[in-house]
Amino acid sequence: MTQTFASFSPEDMHLLAPFMKIGLLATVTPEGLPHLTFISSMRPNTPTQLTWGQFVEGTSKQFIRQNPKVGFLMMTLQKELWRGKATFTHTASQGPEYDFYNNVPMFRYNAYFGIHTVYYMNLVHHLGRQPLPMNKIIPAAILTMLAKSLAPGRAEHDPLNLWTRSLLNKLDALKFLAYVDRDGYPVIVPVIQAQAAGREHVLFSTGAYGADLGAVPAGTKVAVFGLALTMEDVLMRGEFEGIKRYGGIRCGRVKVDWVYNSMPPAPRQIYPEVPLEPVTTF
């Protein structure tokens, strides 16, 4: 049974204090689907509470107000990560946390925006401090590249354009999968070994995080988030087709049917394509 922790230790809080880290928030849409957002300002505020600051608009802020159950992942520059579940409680536009965020150099000296709202979440549990298993991820990435050359390549649709496929196929890009667990809370699983397998599928060997991926039932709707070191990212959603063997290599595969550009200044759905409409209200 996986060990969980109901609070962050003083060492956890010290290691997660810097803003130069990866922060991911998994929320649930009104349709019950997982959604992933990059939020580097996420941090433990107390041993049992997390906070993060909002400076741009996005659908995740709407989703969290409608459904307070979230999943989170934080990874430091030392490639150590914390994953867990939390419950959104409230926001604030003043107070000590608001002042703290707006005095951090990353936001204080930004000429274009500052933090205008702080979000608070109560910790449900986390899985503890874990090193990113690069000794498993690198072989898994190689196996994924071999497997995708053997996986069926016919696509019914083309949700993954050239730019998206290029980002997913970067060996130094970070990729994560999220799904909604039986308790209604989203779970985030690193799938850094993932690759685009044609124009419709994302494939990943189970050589890394195999137990976590094996817990995802076939047919589950999942989200896949790709993040390049250049801070470019893309969010995809589709059906997890389960774990199968491709050329003898055990892999999970997602059939993508929805793609979302989550980068500012204009986060929006890019597949299926949304028709442009004239602006009639000013």
**Per-residue pLDDT reduced to its tens digit, 17-70:** 988 899 999 999 999 999 999 998 899 999 999 999 887 777 888 999 999 999
DSSP labels, 111-134: SS----EEEEEEEEEE---EE--H
Is 282 within the bounds of a domain?
no
pTM here is 0.93
Query: Residue 48: which domain range?
Result: 10-130
H or E element that contains 234: strand 233-246
The reported pLDDT for the residue numbered 111 is: 45
Is 48 within the bounds of a domain?
yes
DSSP β-bridge partners for residue 52: 119
**Per-residue pLDDT reduced to its tens digit, 205-256:** 999 999 999 999 999 999 999 999 888 899 999 999 999 999 899 999 999 9
Asked if 164 and 210 touch (Cβ cutoff 8 Å), the reply is: no
Asked if 238 and 221 touch (Cβ cutoff 8 Å), the reply is: yes
Higher-confidence residue of 110 and 126: namely 126
Write down which residue in 111, 130, 149 finishes a domain.
130
| 51 shares its domain with 166 | no
| 153 shares its domain with 234 | yes
Write down which residue in 78, 102, 130 finishes a domain.
130
| 88 shares its domain with 139 | no
| Whether residue 272 has a cis bond before it, omega within 30° of 0 | yes
Residues ≥6 apart with Cβ < 8 Å to 270: 161, 259, 260, 261
Residue 257 CA to its chain's centroid (Å): 17
Asked if 100 and 108 touch (Cβ cutoff 8 Å), the reply is: no
Number of structural domains found in the chain: 2
Write down which residue in 103, 130, 157 finishes a domain.
130
Asked if 69 and 178 touch (Cβ cutoff 8 Å), the reply is: no
The reported pLDDT for the residue numbered 260 is: 92
Asked if 140 and 207 touch (Cβ cutoff 8 Å), the reply is: yes
Looking up tokens 């936001």, which residue turns up? 107
**Per-residue pLDDT reduced to its tens digit, 60-96:** 889 999 999 999 999 999 999 999 999 999 999 988 9
